[in-house]
Structure 1
Amino acid sequence: MAKLPQRTGLLRDAIKERIVERILDGTYGPGERIVESAVAAEFGVSQAPVREALRDLEAMRFVESQPHRGARVREVTTDELIQIYPVRAALEEVAGREAAARISEEQLAALGEELAAMRRAADDGDLHALMVSDTRFHEIIVEASGNDVLLDVWRSLRVEARSLVSALKSHSDLHAIAELHRPVLQAVQYRDPELAGKEMRAHIEFFGASVISHLSRP
């Protein structure tokens, strides 16, 4: 386990990201209680930064707290996902346009590395690894936009990724999923803002429709 930073604010943020990762990869399932003392003991910290991290995650709607029962992973409804995906599509369209104009060579290389990692994960049949690289691929583009407000809002919507994993478990062709990222990468490489925005929106809308269709099945 990587060592956590010692400064209070950084420590809280590091714990928050660790908990988010576990929610997204299913380690903490919907409705599961997150015990402050257990998390603190695992990370070798006091309960104060854990409590602060959970408070932040409640504001971000990843967890919900109940009196005398602590924090639990919040369940996301199909109706909520129907509302989330158009917002995320709009955000990533803006991110794609801005990133195409501003992205660095290092960030472009990182995008290529994440696509290569998705292809390797597809070869191995490793959905979890594919989703880790998928999330990082999108995060790089949002970071490259240079818009901190957009980045904060985008991160708050990651709760829907848990439902995406569930939907994609029924998708047999992981290679096809990986290759859906190629048009996005190419548009950003061309530094074509309009094309990059269009490809990002289409990409998110496709996955949103897939998730909602999967979750709407009886």
Structure 2
Amino acid sequence: MPSLRQCMSDKIRNALTSRIFDGSLKAGERLVELEIAREFDTSQTPVREALRELESLQLVESIPYRGTRVREICDREMIEAYTVRGVLEQLAAELAAPRLAGNVSSLRTSLALIHDAARTGDIEAYARHNIEFHRTIVLASDNQVLIQSWERLAFEARVRLHLHRRHEPSLVDRAREHDGPVDALERGDGVTAGRLLREHAESCKQRWCDRVAGSAASQQTGTTELTPVTASCLS
């Protein structure tokens, strides 16, 4: 019985996630447990479990007496998150270097998949392998507080959400930015790997700031179309 409930919870979570990514569910839209349960012909228990998982990914938020709603990720939050991510990954690389020296096969595999996805323009695969690449380095730090802090940034959801909301970008240049840290970690050079990862996060943040500035300029000139969010902002 628990396994059946878990399967239904996963089904509901995946369906709602897809709707959030493709814009069918918009920021601020309320998610009513009873209505979702009726749609999937199930009880409210797996719905509640699915919503808790989406909240952990920061895709929805629950507000007392107001229910659960699709969460909006604002520009300021994205910019601040990249700042924190850069610092955390710099430290993670420094701590992980002794463990990864001469032992980066898993990173090489993720890196190859990132490049493959970039060449084919597969944004789903790119987002998935990109976050797995960064997570591998963070986990290798073996610092639980650091790992938990990094996970709370929920970058997998951020990347996928914004990629799905804009045109399909070219990812090849951004994929190359991951090569240097792997080479450095293979040598056991955590300082260089950490510096490169922080520079990568800072460059992503700067490109995001440029997009925000471009959008503001467009609004001032009466142009309603926003500057497209590219993978260079998101990798």
Shift of 1:102: 1.9
User: Considering only aligned residues, what root-mean-square deviation do their CA atoms show, in Å?
Assistant: 3.8
Q: Secondary structure at the match of 1:72?
A: strand
Shift of 1:35: 5.0
Which residue matches 1:125? Answer: 121
Q: Secondary structure at the match of 1:64?
A: strand
The amino acid of 1:113's aligned partner reads: T
Q: Secondary structure at the match of 1:217?
A: helix
Q: Size of the alignment, in residue pairs?
A: 208
Looking at CA atoms only, which structure, 1 or 2, has the larger radius of gyration?
2
Q: Does 1:22 align with 2:20?
A: no
- Contact 1:24-1:162 within 8 A present in 2 as well: no
Give the percent of matched residue pairs that are identical in Structure 1 and Structure 2: 36
Structure 1 residue runs of 4+, over 6 Å off?
38-45
Q: In structure 2, what is the Cα distance between the partners aligned to 1:145 and 1:162?
A: 25
Q: In structure 1, what is the Cα distance between the partners aligned to 2:138 and 2:19?
A: 18
Shift of 1:161: 2.4
Pick closer, same or farther for the CA change 1:48–1:153 going to 2, 3 Å. farther
Deviations 1:124-164 (A, max 9, x none): 12122111111111111111111122111111112532465
The amino acid of 1:161's aligned partner reads: V
Deviations 1:110-131 (A, max 9, x none): 2111111112112212122111
The amino acid of 2:21's aligned partner reads: G
Task: Find the partner of 2:147 among 151, 156, 159.
Answer: 151
Q: In structure 2, what is the Cα distance between the partners aligned to 1:36 and 1:149?
A: 33
Give the TM-score taking structure 1 as reference length: 0.74
Q: In structure 1, what is the Cα distance between the partners aligned to 2:33 and 2:86?
A: 34
Shift of 1:170: 6.5
Shift of 1:62: 3.6
Which residue matches 2:72? Answer: 75
Give the TM-score taking structure 2 as reference length: 0.70
Q: In structure 1, what is the Cα distance between the partners aligned to 2:166 and 2:111?
A: 17
- Contact 1:97-1:196 within 8 A present in 2 as well: yes
